[in-house]
Structure 1
Amino acid sequence: MQTWPNPFIEQRADPYILRHEGEYYFIASVPEYDRLEIRRAESLDGLRSAEQVVVWRKPETGPMSELIWAPELHCIDGKWYIYFAATHTQALDKLGMFQHRMFALECSDNDPLTGTWVEKGQITTPFDTFALDATTFVHQGKRWYLWAQKAPDIAGNSNLYLCEMENPWTLKGEPVMLSKPEYDWECRGFWVNEGPAVLFHGDRLFISYSASATDENYCMGLLWIDLNADPRNPANWHKSPQPVFTTSYENRQYGPGHNSFTQTPDGEDVLVYHARNYTEIEGDPLYDPNRHTRLKTVVWKENGMPDFGIPSADTV
């Protein structure tokens, strides 16, 4: 089983690694929350020293002018897309709270590091509320959009929603809610289900997600469904009553979460996540820059379920 230096990449939260045509692409939240950077390498290890190419910077004003969060890079039908969340100065000044919405960028060129990125605007959902952490995947011949959003009529900060897509920046039909914070470990500090990531294995589709506040309480939960079941029926989904990846006080790894998945060239599944190595955070945890990107091989049990183990101790 392969291991990696830990931290893998420093000061990069909400990490996303795409394996595409034999190359690896890395994108994540930067501590300044002001730009989108992409790295590319021929190997996972190569991402650590790969050039950081800024492909987009936030404008001075408007709905995408503050707190650029949790980008993901996807290649869809020969074009590149970045999904991210952002808010605007007026929301922070007047409301004193986060009012993020979800946005998409498109690049029609072959190379996303040198190509031209075009703003496709906000991805709209049935209610205009705090929304973030979008991902997309293909399942049962359809493209799906999966994200976190605040519901007007449900207590808490964000739930997980799934919807079919008309095109890479437009939803189709009515979304369904797959999960909301209900267990104690999902409601510490904040009532949060966010940062969903998709993993296929055997005859199941898995969705990991993150829960609670972004300090040492942050942790990962798990949903799963039979591959042949209708994903639009919430009753077909199963939810782990316990978190599947949590703070390790022994290894000094705190608040592991906001993960994605990638694969080694040999086909091993890799958990990509962030965590801190201390708990003494001054001020708002959001503005502490030391959520570092980390990698861990996923172990599969005989019953077909993933075992994420515990966050590995720092080696660097």
Structure 2
Amino acid sequence: MKSAFTFLFIIVVLMLTYCNSAVSGDDEKPPEPECEFVNPIAHGQDPWAIKHGDSYYFIESAGGALHISKTQSLTTLKMNQQEVWSLPDHAGWNQHNLWAPELHFIQGKWYIYYAAGESGPPFTSQRSGVLESVSEDPFEGFIDKGQLYTGDDIETGEENKWAIDLTVLDLNGQLYAIWSGWEENRDTDHTPQHLYIAEMENPWTISGNRVKLSSPEEEWETGGELDLQEGPQILENEEGDVFIIYSTRESWLPAYRLGQLKLSDRNADPMNPDNWEKSGPVFMGTEDVIGAGHASFVKSQDGTEDWIVYHTKVSEEPGWDRYIHIQPFGWDQQGNPDFGTPVSAGVTLPKPAGECK
């Protein structure tokens, strides 16, 4: 009897052990430690992140609409996304091809800069538009402020020119629009892209004719299917130096990479191309991190670290299926950003300073 009882007891213990193992998921990947993460952090493209207060805001386009998320952690940029605007369903310039939105907080309101077109492909009708928030809360909605003028005749506003990836520089109290554009409108989207700048009267109005800042002319910018510069982003160091970090080579191919323009002095005229010094490539892919480009830049939660947010290609095949990566970067002795090398997927990194509990 005792032997039978002992045998029954052993069976019960084994069953409980098995059940506990099944519930805890021993055959599943264990959760990451609280203070670590691995890339990629999400699927996505043209990542735009901005830190405002103690929160990060992330915006992207999907399904003809713009979606914003808010989080306290850089590693969860796409959590709890909310649609804030969609392309109009009536005839107009911005019915199709919603690309690369950016979210900026300027003079007490949020502004979204985006590219869209009347038709396509081919993508020959892309222009830049702007939306203004109804309040200081970007989730309460936006007002369409229309198309920005990115042409050569501001007086008449005629023959607006092809433009994408518009961003804003706020320098010494003056706003400037910076974007990727064509010299002339054409009937093919296989057209070289350059970087342009123009003064702004306010966040929704360009007040002067464009000036071409830079063209894809260096050896590391040329040699592929299409010579282009796009995705310009503003970056400043603690000394006040101003940089434009832009993408070059073809976004749909592994050669995509980042180049740099540096303003000679913070008080120099940014409208003068001679005041910008080009260097590069400053960041590019590796054998296993393919097509690194189109970046944005934010501080860590405690403000002590600089982080780059960028996209990579899922494979070497031509196309726009992409992942979002993040990693910290430093500065060299001359005050230039030192982005280093893209960190391979699956490599464990410490979370941004200030995020660990």
- TM-score in terms of structure 2 length: 0.78
Structure 2 match to 1:173: 208
Which runs of structure 2 are paired with 1:167-316 in the superposition (5 Å)? 167-187=202-222, 188-201=224-237, 202-214=239-251, 215-225=253-263, 226-240=265-279, 242-249=280-287, 252-267=288-303, 268-281=305-318, 285=319, 288=320, 290-315=321-346
Match for residue 173 of structure 2 among 111, 130, 141: 141
What is the alpha-carbon distance in structure 2 between the residues aligned to residue 73 and residue 312 of structure 1?
A: 26
1:160 counterpart = 2:195: yes
The answer as to whether partners of 1:148 and 1:160 remain within 8 angstroms in 2 is yes
Larger Rg: 2
Count of equivalent residues: 297
Q: What's the CA shift for 1:35?
A: 1.0
Structure 2 match to 1:6: 39
| 1:53 aligned partner, one-letter code | Q
Inter-CA distance 3–309: structure 2 relative to 1 (3 Å threshold): farther
1:130 counterpart = 2:162: yes
1:88 counterpart = 2:118: yes
The answer as to whether partners of 1:4 and 1:295 remain within 8 angstroms in 2 is no
Inter-CA distance 3–216: structure 2 relative to 1 (3 Å threshold): farther
The answer as to whether partners of 2:293 and 2:312 remain within 8 angstroms in 1 is yes
Inter-CA distance 169–313: structure 2 relative to 1 (3 Å threshold): same
Q: What's the CA shift for 1:270?
A: 1.1
Of all paired residues, the percent bearing the same amino acid is 38
Gapped runs of 5+ residues in structure 2? 1-34, 153-159, 348-357
Taking only aligned residues, the RMSD between alpha carbons, in angstroms, comes to 2.1
Deviates more, 1:169-178 or 1:62-71: 169-178
Match for residue 59 of structure 2 among 20, 27, 41: 27
What is the alpha-carbon distance in structure 2 between the residues aligned to residue 98 and residue 185 of structure 1?
A: 26
What is the alpha-carbon distance in structure 1 between the residues aligned to residue 37 and residue 197 of structure 2?
A: 33
Match for residue 144 of structure 2 among 88, 111, 119: 119
Structure 1 match to 2:3: none
The answer as to whether partners of 2:235 and 2:242 remain within 8 angstroms in 1 is yes
The answer as to whether partners of 2:249 and 2:255 remain within 8 angstroms in 1 is yes
Gapped runs of 5+ residues in structure 1? none
| 1:124 aligned partner, one-letter code | Y
1:64 counterpart = 2:94: yes
| 1:106 aligned partner, one-letter code | E
Inter-CA distance 300–85: structure 2 relative to 1 (3 Å threshold): same
- TM-score in terms of structure 1 length: 0.88
